[in-house]
Structure formats: C-alpha cells, structure tokens
Amino acid sequence: MNQSNEDHQVPRDPYVQRPVREPMFNLPPVVVGLSLIFIGIHLVRVYVLSSDAELQTLLLFAFWPVRYVSDFSAQYSWPGESFSAVWSFLTYGFLHGSAQHIGFNILWMAVFGSAVARRFGAMRFLLLSAICAIAGAGAHLATNWGQSIPVIGASAAVSGQMAASLRFIFEAGGPMSAFRRHDSVAYSVPARPLMEALSDSRVLTFMLVWFGLNALFGIWSAPIAGEGANIAWQAHVGGFIAGLILFPLLDPIKARRT
C-alpha cells in the first residue's frame, strides 16, 4: 500500500528558530521614508510654490559658499539668513534639481544605504547620513570658497552610506560576499579594521572606480544625470570619507579582531 509523501516528512522541532529571509526589495522603512520626503519636497517646489517662494526656499535651505565671505552679510540680507547659514549645511540635502536627480540618489540609497540601515537601525543611519551631508558641505565650501552657485542634493549623504557599506558588505557571509547569506544575519557580520578592509581587492576596486568617476566630474565639470547643474564632486568626496571614518564609531556590531 502506497503511503503519502506526508508520511515520510521529518518532524520539525517547534523550538528551533529558522532564519528569517528578507525579500530582496523589502527596503528598510527609514530608506522608504527619506525617499518619500525627497519626492514630496520636490513636488511641492515644482507644483505648489510660486517663483518667489521657490527662490526664497533656495536662499534659506540650499548651501551657498558665497554666504560665508566676510562682507556678504553687509551686502545681502533676507529674513532667516543668519540661521540658514547654519542649517543649510544639512538642509541642502533635501532639495534636488530634477526628478532624475532624485531618482539617482534614491537608487543608490536603496542599494547601499539599505544595507547600512539594516545594520545600524534607523537612528544611527540618520545620524550617519546627517554627518556625511555636513561633511560634504564642508568639503565643498573649503574647495569653492566664495562661489555663488548653490549646492543641493543628497549625494554627499548617499556617498557616506556607500562608503560605510563597503566596510562590511564583502565580508564572509555579508550581503555581497561570494558565500553570502540571504537573511538578516548577513547585515551583522563583523567588520575588519579600515586598513585591512582596504586590502580587499573588491573594496579597493570599488573605491578606485568611484573616485575616478568623481575626478572626471571635476575635470569635465559638465551637467549629467539630469541635475541641470555641475556636479559638486567635492561634496561627494567629503561625504564618502566621512562615511569611512564614522563607520566604526556608529557600528553596533563588535568589530572582528585579527
């Protein structure tokens, strides 16, 4: 007499916890939330604000290197100008020049920022992003002192997320390693010290390509990716370096000892 397949199944221990597999496109809520904020702000600027209100928004929230020249405040002033000189180090990251500009930043944040968000949690992820945005603005200010062209976009913050992800995504069992895991544990693999991580050919190749592309942006100084403005590549570099340095300070996972 034939028995059904169920008769041959090995009983499962109800106390053994199976690893939770995370869907590939199940983005962390903080990444989804930031993306929606970027899109919402841009839609309001494009479809709701008048031309005068849009200009005032840029004056108050974009990052203007010329604002820090000593005689600037004596020649130009508008309501909130002194405060915006402080908060614009961060707020410029919420403004974008076009839908394509937002799309590129959201795409890279979804790929690399999501890995960091799953590892860090929402608050550490937001702190990392904010500091990288500030570092990007500082790097741009140092190399473009007195420039009257405003800087907008989350690219510096996303560059920092990308750099932070390089510290662990290629580790054994990590989300982009040769022998990767496919559950949440992949985002909790211990990371190596920075100098040891830089000896990994995959990390080094990624960084060389990334810095090479940003060097080309600086040499050509041409609008790309629908931004309608020159690439603020110095801000990218500042954010990227900040992400590399900040990673061990914010990483909740104990570092791997060698």
Q: pLDDT class for 5, splitting at 50, 70, 90?
A: very low
Distance between CA atoms of 131 and 3, rounded to whole angstroms?
64
pLDDT reported for residue 216: 82
Q: Which amino acid is at 60?
A: L
Q: Which amino acid is at 72?
A: F
pLDDT, mean over the chain: 84
pTM over 0.85: no
Q: pLDDT class for 164, splitting at 50, 70, 90?
A: very high
Mean pLDDT on 36-55: 95
In sequence order, what are the residues at sequence separation of 6 or more whose Cβ sits closer than 8 angstroms to the Cβ of residue 135?
156, 160, 238, 239, 241, 242
3-state secondary structure of 63: strand
pLDDT reported for residue 69: 86
pLDDT reported for residue 121: 96
Architecture of domain 27-250: Up-down Bundle (1.20)
The domain segmentation of the chain, as residue ranges, is: 27-250
Q: Is the pLDDT of residue 228 over 50?
A: no
Span 171-186, pLDDT tens digits: 888 887 766 666 678 8
Mean pLDDT on 222-226: 42
Instruction: Give the total residue count for the chain.
Output: 258
Q: Is the pLDDT of residue 20 over 80?
A: no
Is-contact 242 132, C-beta < 8 A? yes
